[in-house]
A and B are shown apart, each in its own frame.
Chain A
């Protein structure tokens, strides 16, 4: 069984090798024509061998030597087409179709429409179109006309001694054979149209794919460039804020020194001027520090570690101790919090920003109460920081995560407007989402997600 399988595989491989052309691209029609031709040859040989042996016996017994010889020749040609290695694919196709023509013409000659000759002619025409194309197809139709006309002439002159000659009148033959010619002509006309459409589709698809690949490559390039630019920008923000600190420190220091050493010698106005200069420098200092903080997100640590969020909240409460005491704030943690793989310091920062905002923006005369809620969302954890503060007007909800965006004056609520921008950057870096729901005078709830 195994050897039979092996032989079959070898045979298939051999015929395919001879009857196809490796140099033809898969996207061209010729590739599929060759493939079809190879498959036909592969299956035709065993099938014809099976039928031809009893056939040969019959024609031998009946004394139809012409048929006998044509069968032998056809088999020889088909076997050469399959196994002889010196021919081009096109030559093989022509030889193959020619051999089939020989058999069917001889069949027709001997058996007329009683035998399979006419059917063969039609089938061969179709096969010629399929494997060799339109021009060869029309040649086949012409050949069909010639063969039919030749047989018609034989009938007319009552030549020979075969069944067809006696069984037909010329008019009957014309009626039968025109059908064949008509059908084969239709096939030759229609099949190439189908094929052309197919090829256009193949080419178009191929072009589309090339375009798509090109676009994808360009897109990737753009993304790479964008990432690079982004990194450059962050580096720029970092160095700029770093470098700005130095001269600013000089301004502040020497203003301070001026006041310290010469304050008594100056008048009130000069004192005021110094005060404004120092105050301006102070505020600039805060902005620069915040900018530095913002650009530092992601600079520390490259490996996330599994962090116990209960301990994170402990740290946060400790860091915010003064603020919590000052406002008598309450912080409620609803459940035991999970362990999540994060950059610890950054997540502390997130909770610290959100909780301190909740405390800072409390309603006048009301104790700030903050709830921390964690929900298991299967693929990720969802955290909520809910406050009972002044809330955020709906029209401002989108802008609060922008850098240095403030909704209140510094005298009302101090701050530079960096906290939420940093929070967003950190959550983005963790691949999570950050959003807010809020109602004025009722409070805000900040949500963020972290992947499990």
Chain B
């Protein structure tokens, strides 16, 4: 069995978090590639392969922040989970919010899981590598059609 190479779409506007997430994913054992988009609207453009994103790679996993410019994470999640060609992609809410309202809303919109970003750097790295482990090594993701 050849090792999986998976592609992650990170929807995040905070440069610091982008760096941190990249660092954490680099430390992981699994080979991966990341595309980063910095607002909700861009995320949709990417997923729909609209103008400017014709060559976008379909992600195996989406890491989605809630607090985003133009279009917030809830709206992006709703879009993904209500469109046939996108709804099979696992979406992980990765956000600073620990508000019950956000958590409930995310699961009602069929988010695959909800994670509050840990403040401590080591915990953050742990969480990211756990995500990697679980969603990439343990879980069987839907095979790509293209």
Does B142 sit at the interface, judged by CB under 8 A? no
Residue of B17, B119, B120, B122 most packed against chain A (CB within 10 A): B119
B100 interfacial contact with A, CB 8 Å: yes
Whether the Cβ atoms of A250 and B120 lie closer than 8 Å is: no
Return A370 CB to nearest CB of chain B, in Å.
29
In the complex the two chains form, is A256's CB within 8 Å of B121's CB?
yes
Q: Among the listed B97, B100, B124, which residue makes an inter-chain contact with A253, where contact means beta carbons less than 8 Å apart?
A: B124
- Interface assignment of A285: CB less than 8 Å from any CB of chain B: yes
A246 to B124, CA, bound (A): 14
Would B96 and A253 count as touching, CB distance under 8 A? no
Question: B120 contacts which chain A residues (CB < 8 A)?
Answer: 252, 256
Q: How large is the interface on B (under 10, 10 to 19, 20 to 34, 35 or more residues)?
A: 10 to 19
- Kindly state whether residue B3 has any CB partner on chain A within 8 Å: no
Separation of A256 and B100 alpha carbons in the complex (Å): 28
Given A249-B119, A260-B121, A254 and B16 contact (CB-CB distance below 8 Å)? yes
Residue of chain A at shortest CB distance from B23: A257
Taking CB atoms and an 8 Å cut-off, the chain A residues in 242-293 that contact chain B are: 242, 245-246, 248-250, 252-257, 260, 285
CA gap between A254 and B125 in the complex, in Å: 12
Please state if B96 and A257 are interface contacts (CB–CB under 8 Å): no
| Residues of the A chain whose Cβ atoms lie less than 8 Å from the Cβ of B14 | 246, 250
Within 8 Å by CB of B20, from A246, A253, A255, A300, lies A253
Shortest CB distance A257–B (Å): 5
Q: What residues of chain A have their CB less than 8 Å away from a CB belonging to chain B?
A: 242, 245-246, 248-250, 252-257, 260, 285, 300
| The 3 A-B residue pairs with the shortest CB-CB distance in the complex, in nearest-first order | A256-B121, A250-B16, A253-B121
Mind listing 28 A-B residue pairs with CB under 8 Å? A242-B97, A245-B96, A246-B14, A246-B96, A248-B119, A249-B16, A249-B96, A249-B117, A249-B119, A250-B14, A250-B16, A252-B119, A252-B120, A252-B121, A253-B20, A253-B119, A253-B121, A253-B124, A254-B16, A254-B20, A254-B121, A256-B120, A256-B121, A257-B20, A257-B23, A257-B121, A285-B119, A300-B100
What residues make up the interface of B, taking CB atoms closer than 8 Å to A? Answer: 14, 16-17, 20, 23, 96-97, 100, 117, 119-122, 124
Q: A252-B119, A255-B121, A260-B122 are in contact. List 5 more A-B contacts (CB 8 A).
A: A250-B14, A253-B20, A256-B121, A257-B20, A257-B23
